[in-house]
Amino acid sequence: MLTRKQLELLDFIKTRVDIDGVPPSFDEMKDALDLKSKSGIHRLITALEERGFIRRLAHRARALEIVKLPDAMEKPGFTPRLVQGSKPAAPPPRPAAALPIDIAHAMEIPMMGLIAAGVPIEAIAHVSHHVTVPNALMSGRGSHYALEVKGDSMIEAGINDGDIVIIREQLDAENGDIVVALVEDAEATLKRFRRRGGMIALEAANPAYETRVFPGHMVKVQGKLVGLIRSY
Protein backbone atom coordinates (compact mmCIF):
# COMPACT_ATOMS: atom_id res chain seq x y z
CA MET A 1 0.00 0.00 0.00
CA LEU A 2 1.45 3.35 -1.08
CA THR A 3 0.50 6.82 0.06
CA ARG A 4 -0.69 9.51 -2.34
CA LYS A 5 2.70 11.27 -2.27
CA GLN A 6 4.59 8.00 -2.80
CA LEU A 7 2.41 7.22 -5.82
CA GLU A 8 2.90 10.73 -7.21
CA LEU A 9 6.66 10.49 -6.83
CA LEU A 10 6.87 7.03 -8.39
CA ASP A 11 4.73 8.19 -11.31
CA PHE A 12 6.88 11.32 -11.78
CA ILE A 13 10.13 9.27 -11.74
CA LYS A 14 8.69 6.80 -14.27
CA THR A 15 7.53 9.59 -16.59
CA ARG A 16 10.93 11.31 -16.53
CA VAL A 17 12.78 8.06 -17.12
CA ASP A 18 10.51 7.25 -20.06
CA ILE A 19 11.08 10.71 -21.58
CA ASP A 20 14.70 11.52 -20.70
CA GLY A 21 16.22 8.13 -19.97
CA VAL A 22 17.38 9.29 -16.51
CA PRO A 23 15.55 9.93 -13.23
CA PRO A 24 14.83 13.52 -12.13
CA SER A 25 16.99 15.33 -9.59
CA PHE A 26 15.88 15.70 -5.98
CA ASP A 27 15.19 19.41 -6.62
CA GLU A 28 12.97 18.51 -9.57
CA MET A 29 11.12 15.93 -7.48
CA LYS A 30 10.64 18.45 -4.66
CA ASP A 31 9.19 21.03 -7.05
CA ALA A 32 6.98 18.49 -8.83
CA LEU A 33 5.41 17.33 -5.53
CA ASP A 34 5.25 20.89 -4.15
CA LEU A 35 7.24 20.02 -1.01
CA LYS A 36 9.10 22.66 0.97
CA SER A 37 12.36 20.76 1.41
CA LYS A 38 14.28 17.82 -0.01
CA SER A 39 14.03 15.99 3.33
CA GLY A 40 10.47 15.02 2.41
CA ILE A 41 11.73 13.55 -0.88
CA HIS A 42 14.38 11.56 0.99
CA ARG A 43 11.69 10.04 3.21
CA LEU A 44 9.51 9.17 0.21
CA ILE A 45 12.44 7.61 -1.67
CA THR A 46 13.34 5.53 1.39
CA ALA A 47 9.72 4.34 1.73
CA LEU A 48 9.55 3.34 -1.96
CA GLU A 49 12.87 1.51 -1.67
CA GLU A 50 11.75 -0.37 1.47
CA ARG A 51 8.59 -1.48 -0.35
CA GLY A 52 10.61 -2.77 -3.30
CA PHE A 53 9.40 -0.32 -5.95
CA ILE A 54 12.73 1.40 -6.60
CA ARG A 55 16.42 0.63 -6.11
CA ARG A 56 19.22 3.07 -5.38
CA LEU A 57 22.36 2.33 -7.41
CA ALA A 58 25.75 3.05 -5.89
CA HIS A 59 28.34 5.37 -7.46
CA ARG A 60 26.01 6.79 -10.10
CA ALA A 61 24.44 10.23 -10.49
CA ARG A 62 20.65 10.30 -10.10
CA ALA A 63 21.04 6.64 -9.17
CA LEU A 64 17.43 5.45 -9.05
CA GLU A 65 16.00 2.44 -10.85
CA ILE A 66 12.33 1.48 -10.97
CA VAL A 67 12.00 -2.19 -9.98
CA LYS A 68 8.22 -2.59 -10.20
CA LEU A 69 5.01 -0.59 -10.35
CA PRO A 70 1.75 -0.94 -8.39
CA ASP A 71 -0.98 -2.76 -10.30
CA ALA A 72 -3.06 0.42 -10.42
CA MET A 73 -0.33 2.31 -12.30
CA GLU A 74 -0.44 -0.28 -15.07
CA LYS A 75 -4.07 0.60 -15.81
CA PRO A 76 -4.90 3.34 -18.38
CA GLY A 77 -6.12 6.57 -16.89
CA PHE A 78 -4.62 5.97 -13.43
CA THR A 79 -4.34 9.13 -11.33
CA PRO A 80 -2.99 8.93 -7.76
CA ARG A 81 -5.43 10.47 -5.29
CA LEU A 82 -6.08 10.67 -1.58
CA VAL A 83 -9.03 8.57 -0.51
CA GLN A 84 -11.20 10.78 1.69
CA GLY A 85 -13.10 8.03 3.46
CA SER A 86 -16.31 7.68 1.45
CA LYS A 87 -18.51 4.68 2.20
CA PRO A 88 -19.03 2.00 -0.46
CA ALA A 89 -22.13 2.40 -2.62
CA ALA A 90 -23.78 -0.72 -1.21
CA PRO A 91 -22.94 -2.75 1.91
CA PRO A 92 -22.41 -6.51 1.58
CA PRO A 93 -25.46 -8.76 2.08
CA ARG A 94 -26.29 -9.50 5.72
CA PRO A 95 -27.56 -12.76 7.20
CA ALA A 96 -31.30 -12.70 7.76
CA ALA A 97 -30.91 -12.79 11.55
CA ALA A 98 -28.41 -9.94 11.76
CA LEU A 99 -29.51 -6.52 12.99
CA PRO A 100 -28.97 -3.65 10.56
CA ILE A 101 -26.27 -1.29 11.76
CA ASP A 102 -28.65 1.67 12.18
CA ILE A 103 -30.94 -0.40 14.43
CA ALA A 104 -27.97 -1.43 16.57
CA HIS A 105 -27.03 2.27 17.02
CA ALA A 106 -23.72 1.80 15.26
CA MET A 107 -22.23 2.69 11.92
CA GLU A 108 -19.42 1.66 9.61
CA ILE A 109 -16.48 3.99 9.08
CA PRO A 110 -13.34 3.47 6.95
CA MET A 111 -10.15 2.16 8.52
CA MET A 112 -7.40 4.24 6.93
CA GLY A 113 -4.40 2.25 8.18
CA LEU A 114 -1.74 3.15 10.77
CA ILE A 115 -1.07 6.47 12.50
CA ALA A 116 2.15 7.09 14.39
CA ALA A 117 2.07 7.95 18.06
CA GLY A 118 5.85 8.19 18.12
CA VAL A 119 8.17 8.84 15.20
CA PRO A 120 5.98 9.98 12.26
CA ILE A 121 5.23 7.47 9.52
CA GLU A 122 4.17 8.04 5.92
CA ALA A 123 0.89 9.82 5.42
CA ILE A 124 -2.26 7.75 5.36
CA ALA A 125 -3.93 7.47 1.99
CA HIS A 126 -5.94 4.28 1.54
CA VAL A 127 -9.01 2.64 3.03
CA SER A 128 -7.94 -0.87 4.08
CA HIS A 129 -11.37 -2.01 5.34
CA HIS A 130 -14.35 -0.74 7.35
CA VAL A 131 -15.04 -1.06 11.08
CA THR A 132 -18.33 -0.85 12.95
CA VAL A 133 -18.34 1.58 15.88
CA PRO A 134 -21.06 2.79 18.28
CA ASN A 135 -22.75 6.03 17.36
CA ALA A 136 -21.81 7.32 20.81
CA LEU A 137 -18.19 7.56 19.64
CA MET A 138 -19.16 9.91 16.82
CA SER A 139 -18.77 13.55 17.76
CA GLY A 140 -20.79 16.15 15.89
CA ARG A 141 -21.54 16.21 12.19
CA GLY A 142 -19.11 15.39 9.43
CA SER A 143 -17.16 12.39 8.21
CA HIS A 144 -15.27 10.08 10.53
CA TYR A 145 -12.56 7.48 9.99
CA ALA A 146 -10.53 5.06 12.10
CA LEU A 147 -6.77 4.58 12.50
CA GLU A 148 -4.69 1.99 14.32
CA VAL A 149 -2.14 3.59 16.66
CA LYS A 150 1.52 2.66 16.19
CA GLY A 151 3.82 3.73 19.02
CA ASP A 152 3.67 4.89 22.62
CA SER A 153 4.15 8.65 22.53
CA MET A 154 0.55 9.32 23.64
CA ILE A 155 0.32 6.82 26.50
CA GLU A 156 -0.16 9.50 29.19
CA ALA A 157 -3.24 10.64 27.27
CA GLY A 158 -4.60 7.09 27.55
CA ILE A 159 -3.72 6.11 23.97
CA ASN A 160 -1.73 2.87 23.70
CA ASP A 161 0.03 1.07 20.89
CA GLY A 162 -2.55 -1.00 19.00
CA ASP A 163 -5.58 1.12 19.99
CA ILE A 164 -8.08 2.14 17.33
CA VAL A 165 -8.74 5.89 17.35
CA ILE A 166 -11.84 7.50 15.86
CA ILE A 167 -11.10 10.72 13.99
CA ARG A 168 -13.58 13.39 12.87
CA GLU A 169 -12.40 15.03 9.65
CA GLN A 170 -11.68 18.74 10.12
CA LEU A 171 -9.04 21.18 8.94
CA ASP A 172 -8.61 23.26 12.10
CA ALA A 173 -8.02 22.65 15.79
CA GLU A 174 -8.02 24.37 19.15
CA ASN A 175 -4.99 24.40 21.43
CA GLY A 176 -4.94 21.18 23.41
CA ASP A 177 -6.84 19.09 20.85
CA ILE A 178 -5.35 15.72 19.92
CA VAL A 179 -5.20 15.71 16.13
CA VAL A 180 -4.00 13.85 13.08
CA ALA A 181 -1.35 16.21 11.72
CA LEU A 182 0.14 15.97 8.25
CA VAL A 183 3.72 17.30 8.15
CA GLU A 184 5.09 18.59 4.81
CA ASP A 185 2.40 16.55 3.00
CA ALA A 186 4.66 13.53 3.57
CA GLU A 187 4.16 12.11 7.08
CA ALA A 188 1.30 11.80 9.52
CA THR A 189 1.30 11.68 13.30
CA LEU A 190 -1.13 11.73 16.23
CA LYS A 191 -0.20 14.52 18.66
CA ARG A 192 -1.58 17.30 20.85
CA PHE A 193 -1.91 20.55 18.90
CA ARG A 194 -0.55 23.90 20.08
CA ARG A 195 -0.34 27.11 18.03
CA ARG A 196 2.38 29.53 19.06
CA GLY A 197 2.20 32.61 16.91
CA GLY A 198 3.19 31.53 13.42
CA MET A 199 4.50 28.17 14.65
CA ILE A 200 2.72 24.91 15.44
CA ALA A 201 3.90 22.57 18.19
CA LEU A 202 3.01 18.86 18.08
CA GLU A 203 3.26 17.61 21.66
CA ALA A 204 3.68 14.01 22.77
CA ALA A 205 2.09 12.67 25.95
CA ASN A 206 5.19 10.73 26.94
CA PRO A 207 8.30 12.42 28.42
CA ALA A 208 10.51 10.16 26.29
CA TYR A 209 9.47 12.14 23.18
CA GLU A 210 10.32 15.76 22.42
CA THR A 211 7.78 18.32 21.26
CA ARG A 212 8.23 19.01 17.54
CA VAL A 213 7.78 22.60 16.36
CA PHE A 214 7.15 23.57 12.73
CA PRO A 215 6.29 26.73 10.78
CA GLY A 216 2.53 26.90 10.43
CA HIS A 217 2.52 26.27 6.67
CA MET A 218 4.26 22.90 7.13
CA VAL A 219 1.48 21.34 9.24
CA LYS A 220 -2.05 20.52 8.07
CA VAL A 221 -4.70 19.29 10.48
CA GLN A 222 -6.50 16.27 9.01
CA GLY A 223 -8.89 15.55 11.86
CA LYS A 224 -9.55 15.56 15.61
CA LEU A 225 -9.58 12.59 17.99
CA VAL A 226 -13.15 11.96 19.20
CA GLY A 227 -13.13 8.34 20.35
CA LEU A 228 -11.03 5.25 21.05
CA ILE A 229 -11.53 1.48 20.84
CA ARG A 230 -9.27 -0.93 22.72
CA SER A 231 -9.07 -4.73 22.44
CA TYR A 232 -7.91 -6.77 25.44
Same domain for 133 and 64? no
pLDDT the model gives residue 124: 62
d(CA 102, CA 85): 19
Whether 68 and 181 share a structural domain: no
Amino acid at 232: Y
Which residue among 5, 30, 150, 153 is the active-site one? 153
Q: Half-sphere exposure of 100 toward its Cβ, with a 13 Å CA cutoff?
A: 3
Please count the helices (runs of H) and the strands (runs of E) in the chain. 3, 12
Give the range of the structural domain holding residue 27, as residue numbers without chain letter: 4-73
Say how many domains are in the chain. Answer: 2
Q: Are residues 209 and 115 in the same domain?
A: yes
90 located within any domain: no
Residue 168 CA, chain-centre distance (Å), reads 14
Asked if pLDDT for residue 4 goes beyond 90, the answer is: no
What's the mean pLDDT in 15-26? 83
Say if 87 falls within a structural domain.
no
**Closest by CA position to 149, among listed 177, 178, 114:** 114
Q: Is 153 considered catalytic here?
A: yes
**Domain-embedded: residue 168:** yes
The answer to whether residues 216 and 121 belong to one domain is yes
The answer to whether residue 102 sits within a structural domain is: no
pLDDT (0 to 100) of residue 120: 57
pTM over 0.85: no
CATH number at residue 165: 2.10.109.10
Domain annotation covers residue 205? yes
pLDDT in tens, 28-63: 888 888 888 878 888 888 888 888 888 877 655 567
> Which one of the listed residues 14, 191, 220, 224 is annotated catalytic?
191
* Partners of 188 in beta bridges: 121, 182
39 in catalytic set: no
Categorize the per-residue pLDDT at 81 as very low, low, confident or very high, splitting at 50, 70 and 90. very low
- The candidate with the shortest Cα–Cα distance to 73, out of 157, 11, 135, 130, is 11
